[in-house]
């Protein structure tokens, strides 16, 4: 099929590249000239494992192209993805201007191209219930182009987005046109392994499905973080509790890890969006209000542990931070717990020596010269009074503890991701303060 993707940000570029990899001809539209040049030079402007290689392969083969010309990109298009931003306004509502602007530009281009067949416009952006219906009626009023609109929310996880797209557990399509549904089924045919995984529903149901999924996962995280606090209070081990409930088939193991809270571009925004949608419809949502409150409090838990150990005033102390991105396998710093943790330590006068495998450049945009950045994790440890582990990168799971002890002023770890075994910490002579588990004092 001939596919156009408007917007080559994270979602748009993953979508365009993966569709090209399953046999479609794809044209990505990007108006940012700096980013467009990077794409045309055959480089991936974002960090996502596997994406660079896949993009270069199909760009070189010609099945993936990039342009800033919407009319040229839609000349033969059968489907057009809109993957543009839908940022929140100051009052919390979604700014529809980018979506409406992109939709109208596409429809105007289709009309100029005299396309005499149905073109399906696919909204990938996460939007409140009712948005796609409004967009469809807006576009019908603005243009004579023969178009339908469907909602096709993305369920991509940063760090595994390529495999998530190519091996989906479900594909959700919202709309009202049987013809558009058939077009979408044809588009995704190469990756539909189970017919029941291809779901068609109303616009509103599809829109809410994305929000509901992320809100549910955020709820599981906040629940386990509350359980971790109880575990510490009564002397239980949250890892053992997780295993005890995760083996229940009704519950399962995903998203039951205690830590320093969730972040990123989706969970915080989507939880807030459902709270707002409920409020606009006169429906309180105290459960999600609590989920959000728990998460904000959890981001400060490591600092609470540091203060209990060193006191309220931290001037003169040096702390190493391992992990700045909100999760491993990404450089994304949006709503990252590390921001809250580091800001609070700096406010108390501490000196910060930070390392992350991928997000140092993004971190510089947040902290500028207020902290010191290290390309190698061990370099951040020299002379440190303690190490705080904030992101659970695999690189941190099997470190050289002997080397760490030699570099650090004090063999002390505050583990915000529960990476290490108690027995190992005892053997290695570290004072160890995990989440929801008993602390260990150094020998």
Residues labelled as active-site residues: 266
Q: Which residues pair with 94 in a beta bridge?
A: 88
- Look at the chain and count its residues: 443
CA–CA separation, 40 and 64 (whole Å): 10
Question: What are the helix (H) ranges across 94-202?
Answer: 97-112, 131-142, 161-166, 178-188
Q: How many CA atoms lie within 13 A of 59 on its CB side?
A: 20
13 token code pair: 């570029």
What is the layout of strands, in order, in the sheet containing 2-6? 64-67, 25-29, 2-6, 79-82, 119-123, 147-151, 171-174, 198-201
Residues 215-220: contacts with CB under 8 Å, at least 24 apart: 215/270, 215/271, 215/274, 215/288, 215/291, 217/254, 217/255, 217/267, 218/262, 218/267, 218/270, 218/271, 218/288, 218/291, 218/295, 219/287, 219/288, 219/291, 220/254, 220/255, 220/256
Going by DSSP bridges, is the β-strand pair 386-389/79-82 parallel, antiparallel, or unpaired?
unpaired
Q: Which of 343, 342, 337, 407 is nearest to 376 (CA)?
A: 407
- 67, 73 contact by CB (below 8 A): yes
Q: Which residue has the tokens 């993707």?
A: 5
CA–CA separation, 392 and 21 (whole Å): 31
335 token code pair: 């709503």
377 token code pair: 């994790």
- 18, 54 contact by CB (below 8 A): yes
CA–CA separation, 397 and 158 (whole Å): 20
Q: Which of 252, 305, 332 is nearest to 413 (CA)?
A: 305
> Which SS3 state, helix, strand or coil, does residue 91 take?
coil
């Amino acid at each position: 099929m001939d596919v156009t993707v408007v917007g080559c940000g994270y979602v748009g570029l993953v979508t365009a590249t993966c569709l090209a990899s399953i046999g479609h001809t794809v044209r990505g539209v990007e108006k940012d000239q700096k980013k467009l040049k990077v794409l045309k030079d055959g480089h991936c402007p974002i960090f996502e494992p596997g994406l660079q290689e896949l993009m270069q392969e199909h760009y070189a083969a010609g099945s993936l192209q990039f342009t800033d010309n919407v009319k040229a990109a839609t000349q033969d298009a059968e489907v057009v993805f809109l993957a543009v931003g839908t940022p929140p306004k100051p009052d919390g509502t979604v700014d529809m201007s980018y979506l409406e602007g992109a939709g109208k530009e596409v429809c105007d281009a289709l009309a100029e191209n005299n396309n005499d067949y149905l073109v399906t416009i696919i909204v990938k952006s996460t939007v409140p219930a009712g948005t796609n219906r409004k967009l469809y009626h807006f576009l019908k009023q603005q243009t004579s182009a023969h178009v339908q609109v469907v909602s096709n929310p993305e369920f991509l996880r940063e760090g595994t987005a390529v495999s998530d797209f190519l091996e989906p557990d479900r594909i959700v399509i919202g709309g009202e046109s049987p013809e558009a549904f058939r077009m979408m089924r044809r588009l995704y045919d190469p990756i539909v392994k189970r017919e029941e995984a291809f779901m068609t529903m109303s616009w509103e149901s599809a829109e809410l499905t994305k929000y509901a999924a992320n809100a549910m996962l955020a709820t599981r995280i906040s629940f386990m973080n509350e359980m971790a606090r109880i575990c510490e209070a009564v002397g239980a081990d949250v890892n053992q509790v997780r295993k005890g409930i995760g083996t229940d088939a009704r519950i399962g193991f995903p998203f039951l890890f205690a830590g320093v809270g969730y972040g990123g571009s989706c969970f915080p925004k989507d939880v807030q969006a459902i709270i707002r949608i409920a409020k606009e419809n006169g429906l309180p949502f105290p459960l999600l209000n609590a989920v959000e409150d728990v998460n904000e409090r959890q981001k400060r838990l490591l600092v609470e542990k540091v203060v209990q150990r060193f006191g309220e005033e931290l001037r003169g102390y040096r702390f190493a931070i391992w992990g700045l991105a909100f999760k491993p396998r990404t450089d994304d710093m949006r709503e990252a717990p590390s921001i809250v943790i580091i800001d609070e330590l700096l406010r108390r006068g501490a000196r910060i020596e930070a390392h992350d495998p991928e997000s140092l450049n993004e971190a510089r945009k947040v902290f500028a010269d207020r902290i010191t950045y290290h390309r190698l994790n061990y370099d951040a440890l020299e002379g440190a009074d303690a190490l705080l582990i904030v992101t659970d990168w695999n690189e941190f799971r099997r470190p050289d503890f002997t080397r760490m002890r030699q570099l650090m002023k004090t063999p002390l770890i505050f583990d915000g991701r529960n990476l290490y075994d108690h027995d190992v910490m005892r053997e290695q002579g570290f004072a160890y303060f995990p989440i929801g588990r008993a602390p260990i004092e150094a020998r």
